[in-house]
Amino acid sequence: MTVTEDRQSEATGQTAKEVGRDRRRKEDQRLITGRTRWTDNITLPGMLHIAMVRSPYAHARITHLDTSEAKAATNVVAVLTGQDVKEEQGSLPNAWPIKADQVAPDHPSVAVDRVSFAGEIVAVVIARSAAEARDAAELVDVDYEELPAALDLREAAAADADQGVLAHPELGTNKSAYWSFDSAEAGTGSSVDNAIAAARADGVVVEREYRQQRLIPAFMEPRSVVVDPTGEQLTVWSATQIPHILRFLFAAVLGISESKLRVIAPDVGGGFGGKLQITPEEFITILSARRLGKPVKYTETRSESLMAAHHGRDQWQKITVSATKDGTVTGLKLDLIADLGAYVAIMGGGVPVLGAFIANAIYKFPAYQFNVQTVLTNKTWVDAYRGAGRPEVTFAVERIMDELADELGMDPLELRRKNWITKDEFPFTTVTGLTYDTGDYEAATAKATEMFGYDELRAEQKRRREAKDPVQLGIGISTFTEMCGLAPSRVLGTLNYGAGGWESASVRMLPTGKVEVLTGSTPHGQGHETAWSQIVADRLGVAYEDVEVLHGDTAIAHKGMDTYGSRSLTVGGEALVLAADKVIEKARPIAAHLLEASVDDLEFTGGRFNVKGTDKGLAIGEVALATFAAHNLPDGVEPTLDSDATYDPIDFSYPHGTHLCAMEVDTETGGLTMRKYVCVDDIGTIVNPLIVEGQVHGGLVQGIAQALWEEAVHDDAGTLVSASFVDYLVPTAADTISFETANTVSPSTTNTLGTKGVGEAGAIASTPAVVNAVVDALRPFGVNDVRMPCTPERVWKAIHARDGAESGGAPTEGAAAPHFDEQDTADRTAGGTDGSVL
Amino acid sequence: MIPAQFDYVAPTSVEEALSVLAQHGDEAKVIAGGQSLLPVLRMRLNAPEIVVDLGRIDALRGVRDDGDAIVIGAMTTHNDVLHDPLVREHAFVVTKAVAQLADPQVRHRGTFGGAVSHADPAGDLGAPSLALDAEFVIAGRSGTRTVAADDFFVDLFATAIEEGEILTEVRIPKRSGWGAHYEKFVRVAHQWPIVAVAAAVHVEGGTIREARVGLTNMGSTPLRARSVESALVGQPATDEAVRAAAATAAEGTNPPSDLNGDADYRRHLVTVLTRRAVLAAAGA
């Protein structure tokens, strides 16, 4: 859709339906040029600035802390230590204790006598300028006594008070919580242990271990917070995804009345879950502003952001799948260890559990078990990152489907076809107890394979293998689904989550016929202003340009659950539809009254109440004006025309898609060149195809980055090595190819619009597609895994792990040697004796 | 992050710049395009008293023809080098290297002279300088001197430029009958090369008469692969012959180990990249 076409439709009036149109985003000009209210752009009279002093050690006792020199420095107003604020600061809250007996250390905003990860705050310098605060921070003198650091999640899980290293010795354990789901116990399926035993006797069992490396969300705008104390009132601006949740939690932790708190998320530059957090930096800025009675700002540096803003992923996974010899999967078992880092973050403990209900993906597995042990280590805390729990399990299951196909000598697509839920089986209740409302895996896969040229690429792969071409070709498949639209509040209650999953919206008709929309969903790059305008324009029959969307301010849109988990449109959009419909219903009797007609004789189309069979009618804007003047309203009708609605979803939504990746592997260098990437996503009804494509592209790149480039690496002392963008490789457009994207549409039946959510799809689906492609290319070399990120070094060493000659023999860390030795693998891959298997 | 406070001066001539440097000694730091120095200052890894900005010395900018050589002014930006017709004609391997250097933003700020003076062994311009036999013209209070590429790179972040001196230009001799290529290996486009190889070869009648091979990120400085060079002389420009010569590319190197690969991997990689660079340079 071009700009010209947009203009033409404006000229011809409101005939085109907005939903489904490629609208360019209303908000982009100000966001792209930066001429907007980013938190760091806010400057208030008399404002003070904070610089943090952070621990260079992963685990240490603070033996000496001298702030006198810093306090004496030019224009320094105050220097605060943990001792100074220990009564006041409380402990950062954890909103999702997945088990009642979850072990969680106290989380002070400023460390009091011990630091638990490199990057933890030990002192706060407040000065009249940011530069002076930073200069003075260099003068704070801290002595540490280093303590042994718990760094490896598996070792952490094995440690206790008697052996190994504890991240928080006072807890006596590193284990935070153990959470399980078993389909036999839940009554949603049969026993997985029986399924595995049966397959060992007569069938195939494949078991693998995978490592979900630690990632850094690396949002574009660093975190920033400004606090303005005015009398008893505190206004907090924060670069956050969750202003509403923050307002509640600030009040709860600090004992401030919620009514004295206004939290504003102005324009926010990205989050990916990384700004779904309540942070020490926010508490510190609030405490500083309250103490000093002046506005205070803190903006982190990029180095601080990479080190101290929460990380994502970081799981060790053991996955076992059992199947009959014809490729019918009979059971799936997952054992995870999830690293929470040094503290249990707001959602941290629950993130792995978000994966538990869709690890069975699109398949009809009859037996299923999921176990996760969360552990504490002396690393940066871990919490939601794009997909949150779902990419991790999707990776494991989509990887092992390829491994199973290889064991069976089946085409991996054929294996998936054999096991997926067919179109006529929806709605389908899965082995985890969820009911997938709609889906069409056949259609998405057929379209994707056609666009991809699947058969031709398989033929080329065969030719390259036979010719022993130094450049080999791999084809990777990922047929994913996820659960979006978080979440039905009752379900969250059963999972011990601390809040509901509803969303709110308000529609205000202004006297001129313009429309103001308030949403409790809080955008940080998603394009709410555009999509919400499109929905309201259609619903109320008003011009797209006449709709203004307000968000991210608890004093304006006071109710909300904010934005994460691909929930905005499926939950917030539904609230918006309800609010718009309420406005129409309030306007209807007023219109009837003004038109001197019966309500039953009115029909509402194209933004007008028309008296059936006549040319009499009133536009909704005219009704709005009449309610403003209020000169002639029916008895009992309140002046003005507006509405509020709150929607609690009745179920999750289940987007799905088929992603195909072709990867060329240079076997001489291990270098990878992506040849083709095709994805066909089914996200239900599409409100704005342009925004959807942007979400898919961005998600794909983030997921591909996990497969190939990104990893938060710590050294043996627990220091973050990938502490800048020199070493933490965030890709740019130069590193990607032109993706070929398309959609199939199976509208969701659980909401009016039929949407399913698209924010996380690309990031969930692409990672296994890419690694499957890499491994597929390397199968002739006996390779069945390459650890992420699949660096050229790891790929090259995987190729040469078995020949010993060029690589110098033993595979090194990260190389893709099989996870089990030959005998072990043979033992675990029972039934592989008839020639068709192995 | 905010750098520590420093004084700033922007002289408009080389003489003025040298005079400021003489006055401040090792408390002064020269800034060219700032693509390496600014991160160092912002991360507070260095806190000079004064920063001397060469950005206003017009005489240090641009590429000129000097008869038997082309001369690249030290303050010529990578982007200007990239689009310069003289460089393209006489030092195409530099064009190729600069085209892949970091990203467009860096190329518009960073300078040829600044990059070679910083002497990061992973920098993209050292190996081509070695392969092209470039000369470095250094100005000091007692006059100018010229240093051969082989002698310019002394150690990690250290060059033949002494305290109080500045690099003013880089001279690249014109040669005929030579082909050259820069083969760079990265994981993402904007990163430092994991390993890169610049090769220049003189081929006559299908036989390699002379070869110069420069290696990036295989030690504390850009290195010449001398064993490869001598093994290539007199060989046919064929895959087989070049492969055999390139197999020795890691001799005498001391590559780093980091997140992108360990030293062993780099020692392997350099043989593959050398073969590819030489074959491409030879037009084979």
Which pLDDT belongs to residue A818?
34
Token pair in block for residue B162? 């002494």
Q: Which of B40, B101, B259, B276 to mutate to test the interface with A (most CBs of A within 10 A)?
A: B259
Q: A766 falls in which pLDDT band (50, 70, 90)?
A: very high
d(CA B143, CA B135): 16
| CA distances for A54 relative to A142, A174, A217, angstroms | 10, 23, 20
pLDDT tens, A41-87?
999 999 999 999 999 999 999 999 999 999 999 999 999 999 999 99
For the cut 70, the answer to whether the pLDDT of residue A814 exceeds it is: no
| SS3 of A16-77 | CCCCCCCCCCCCHHHHHHCCCCCHHHCCCCCCEEEEEEECCCCCEEEEEEECHHHHHCCCEE
Taking contacts as CB-CB distances below 8 angstroms, the residues of chain B near A668 are: 272
pTM for the model: 0.94
pLDDT tens, A557-588?
999 999 998 899 999 999 999 999 999 999 99
Contact (CB<8Å) A793/B265: yes
Token pair in block for residue B92? 């195409």
For the cut 70, the answer to whether the pLDDT of residue A3 exceeds it is: no
Taking contacts as CB-CB distances below 8 angstroms, the residues of chain B near A793 are: 260-262, 265
HSE of A538, CA atoms in CB hemisphere, 13 A = 17
Contact (CB<8Å) B189/A732: yes
pLDDT tens, A259-314?
999 999 999 999 999 999 999 999 999 999 999 999 999 999 999 999 999 999 99
Which pLDDT belongs to residue A595?
97
Taking contacts as CB-CB distances below 8 angstroms, the residues of chain B near A806 are: 268
The whole-number average pLDDT for the span B91-112 is 97
Q: What is the number of CB-based contacts under 8 A between chain A and chain B? A: 65
| CA distances for A635 relative to A562, A599, A632, angstroms | 38, 15, 9
Percent of chain B as helix, strand, coil, to the nearest 5 = 35, 30, 35
Q: A822 falls in which pLDDT band (50, 70, 90)?
A: very low
The whole-number average pLDDT for the span B52-80 is 98
- CB-based contact A707:A790 (threshold 8 Å): yes
Collapse the DSSP code of A189 into the 3-class scheme (helix H, G, I; strand E, B; otherwise coil) and give the result: coil
The residue of chain B with its CA nearest to that of A301 is: B1
Neighbours of A359 (CB within 10 A): 27
Which pLDDT belongs to residue A824?
33
Judge whether B260 is closer than 8 Å to chain A, CB to CB.
yes
DSSP code for A570: I
Judge whether B251 is closer than 8 Å to chain A, CB to CB.
no
d(CA A91, CA A255): 12
Q: A803 falls in which pLDDT band (50, 70, 90)?
A: low
Q: What residues contact residue A259 under an 8 Å CB cut-off, 6+ apart?
A: none
Interface of A with B (CB under 8 A): 130-131, 134-135, 138, 301, 303, 668-671, 708-709, 711, 713, 721-722, 726-727, 729-732, 734-735, 791-793, 796-797, 806-808, 812
Judge whether B265 is closer than 8 Å to chain A, CB to CB.
yes
Which pLDDT belongs to residue A802?
74
pLDDT tens, A208-265?
999 999 999 999 999 999 999 999 999 999 999 999 999 999 999 999 999 999 999 9
Neighbours of B47 (CB within 10 A): 14
Q: Kindly tell me the sign of the dihedral angle through the C-alpha atoms of A399, A401, A404, A408.
A: negative
Token pair in block for residue B80? 């200007």
Instruction: State the residue for tokens 């797209």.
Output: A544
For the cut 90, the answer to whether the pLDDT of residue A633 exceeds it is: yes
Instruction: For residue B111, list its beta bridge partners.
Output: B77
Cα B169 from chain centroid (whole Å)? 13
For the cut 60, the answer to whether the pLDDT of residue A350 exceeds it is: yes
Give the nearest partner residue to A791 out of B1, B4, B260, using CB atoms.
B260
Contact (CB<8Å) A709/B194: no
Q: What residues contact residue B252 under an 8 Å CB cut-off, 6+ apart?
A: B223, B226, B227
For the cut 50, the answer to whether the pLDDT of residue A627 exceeds it is: yes
| H-assigned helices in chain B | 14-24, 37-42, 78-82, 85-90, 92-99, 104-109, 112-118, 126-131, 149-152, 226-232, 239-246, 263-281
Give the nearest partner residue to B43 out of A303, A671, A792, using CB atoms.
A303
Contact (CB<8Å) A134/B262: no
Contact (CB<8Å) B260/A303: no
Which pLDDT belongs to residue B173?
97
Question: Of all residues in chain A, what percent carry a pLDDT higher than 90?
Answer: 92
pLDDT tens, A173-184?
999 999 999 999
- Which one, of A591, A649, A550, lies nearest residue A243 by Cα? A550
Collapse the DSSP code of A775 into the 3-class scheme (helix H, G, I; strand E, B; otherwise coil) and give the result: helix
Question: Side chain identity at A582, as an amino acid letter?
Answer: K
Which pLDDT belongs to residue B284?
77
Q: A152 falls in which pLDDT band (50, 70, 90)?
A: very high
Chain B residues 184-203 within an 8 A CB cutoff of chain A: 185, 187-192, 194
The residue of chain B with its CA nearest to that of A133 is: B2
pLDDT tens, A684-713?
999 999 999 999 999 999 999 999 999 999
10 Å CB burial of residue A582 (0-12, 13-18, 19+) is: middle
Q: B26 falls in which pLDDT band (50, 70, 90)?
A: very high
Token pair in block for residue A533? 């305008």
Buried-state track B8-33, b at ≥16 Cβ within 10 A, e below 16: ebebeebeebbebbeebeeebbbbbb
Token pair in block for residue A67? 């702030």
| CA distances for B66 relative to A26, A689, A793, B167, B171, angstroms | 55, 57, 44, 18, 9
Taking contacts as CB-CB distances below 8 angstroms, the residues of chain B near A796 are: 265, 268
